[in-house]
Structure 1
Amino acid sequence: MPVATFPLGPLQTNSYLIHADNRAVAVDVGGQPAPMLDYLAEYRLSLTAICLTHRHFDHLYGVAELAAATRAPVYAPAGDDSLAETESGRGGIWGFPQVTPFESLPMPTGETSFGGMGCRVLETPGHTPGGVSLYFPAESLVFTGDALFYRSMGRTDFPGGDHATLLRSINDALFALPPETVVYPGHGPATTIGDERKNNPFCGEFRA
């Protein structure tokens, strides 16, 4: 399953398109989605869903525009609904622009599918109260949002963040995945579950 990465917006948020056959799914949309729309047109793909790993402003800037252009439904974690009207959710914090409002449906949890691709929605709170990671077992890849990064983990000093909860999420949900699983994070380069188990500097905390 091809994965196209687009660092978008003021914080260069990794925004993704994954696709099989002629159907695509977007994961987070951190800025103006013109490159994503160009990609969809070039490969003649129909966008079937926009999936959000969490409701922080830097992952949302292009959601409204992409949804309007493609008519794809937006799925957002229900556990993050409390952030929708905060500065960390709608923008404005630290002088960043506000997010254009958009309609969304509750993100399912557990086994589901998007665009005909089997997906396991993992609950990985801690960076936000309702953050999720999207695991595609047939393709051995997971989109972790801002829960797990290359050699790092998400910050927990925003409203609703909790350090101990995020450690449990990483250890119990993400580090339980097969070691060859490719990790596509919300910022920075891709990595693998096995590599992070061995080399992430927070590993001592994960195993505590």
Structure 2
Amino acid sequence: MDIKAFALGPLETNCYVITNDNKAVVIDPGGDPTAVLAFLKKSGFELESILNTHLHFDHIVGNAALAEATGKTIYADESGLSLMNTPLGDGSMIGIKVAPFKSEHIKIGKTEMVGLECNVLSTPGHAPGSLTFHFPALETAFVGDLIFRRSIGRTDFPGGDLDMLKKSVQENIFTLPENTTLLSGHGPSTSVAEEKNHNPFFSDMQF
């Protein structure tokens, strides 16, 4: 089991590749996926699927190219698809174009990916349809732009909601084991314990 990170696209979004045995899953290909494809080929991993934590342009720029190169399915929460018809989803807000792609809806709850248990959690607030992917065996949750090290994702974009975001974190992230590593869409990693103790947006909470 391993996790490799690539900073992709105009905002250097963290794209993660989870590998186990000879299988791999990619989370948030936010730019040209050439480096990801090269890694998979060199390492001999077969891509199983492509996951999106949410459908803001900086997390999906590489979706179409990666899916076309591998023939694999893109999974996202269908409740976020309305973003694709907005500048925040199609990339026009910063003058880029997100190539069209098709995605399948992913169900909330327990599933299996690359032979590992994965808990797909609904964590809206930063964007409609935001998801967190928690892999207990890796002691890691991929949280997208929900929460960052000592910060949180923006909620001033269309569909954002601060109260909803805080509720998502309190009910779905802070209930995970405290040693769980949180891998965000931007910036460094953190942990459940770190954010419980030091994130100023939750300083009024009692644990």
**TM-score bracket, shorter-length normalisation:** over 0.9
Tell me the equivalent position of 2:109: 110
**Contact 1:179 / 1:194 at 8 angstroms: preserved in 2?**
yes
Matching residue's letter, 2:192 = I
| Change in 2 beyond 3 A, CA 1:46/1:150 | same
Secondary structure, aligned partner of 1:128:
coil
Tell me the equivalent position of 1:163: 162
The Cα offsets for residues 124-162 of structure 1, whole Å up to 9 and x where unpaired, read as 000012101000012110000000111110000111000
| Change in 2 beyond 3 A, CA 1:167/1:66 | same
CA distance in 1, matches of 2:163, 2:205: 9
Secondary structure, aligned partner of 2:44:
coil
Give 1:101 deviation, angstroms. Answer: 0.6
Tell me the equivalent position of 1:22: 22
CA distance in 1, matches of 2:65, 2:138: 29
Give 1:47 deviation, angstroms. Answer: 0.4
CA distance in 2, matches of 1:142, 1:92: 30
Tell me the equivalent position of 1:122: 121
Give 1:205 deviation, angstroms. Answer: 5.1
**What RMSD over aligned residues (CA atoms) do the two structures have, in Å?**
1.3
CA distance in 2, matches of 1:161, 1:138: 31
**Contact 1:3 / 1:18 at 8 angstroms: preserved in 2?**
yes
Matching residue's letter, 1:67 = A
Instruction: Say whether 1:204 aligns with 2:203.
Output: yes
Q: Percent identity?
A: 44
CA distance in 1, matches of 2:204, 2:53: 23
How many aligned positions are there? 207
Secondary structure, aligned partner of 1:159:
coil
Alignment of 1:1-208 (within 5 A): 1-93=1-93, 95-204=94-203
CA distance in 1, matches of 2:102, 2:43: 27
CA distance in 1, matches of 2:203, 2:176: 18
Give 1:2 deviation, angstroms. Answer: 0.6
How high is the TM-score relative to the length of structure 2?
Answer: 0.97
> Which stretch of the first structure deviates more once superposed, 181-190 or 83-92?
83-92
Secondary structure, aligned partner of 2:141:
strand
**Contact 1:136 / 1:142 at 8 angstroms: preserved in 2?**
yes
CA distance in 2, matches of 1:17, 1:174: 21
Give 1:202 deviation, angstroms. Answer: 1.1
**Contact 1:171 / 1:206 at 8 angstroms: preserved in 2?**
no
The Cα offsets for residues 13-61 of structure 1, whole Å up to 9 and x where unpaired, read as 0001001000000000010011101110111000000000000000011
Matching residue's letter, 1:148 = I
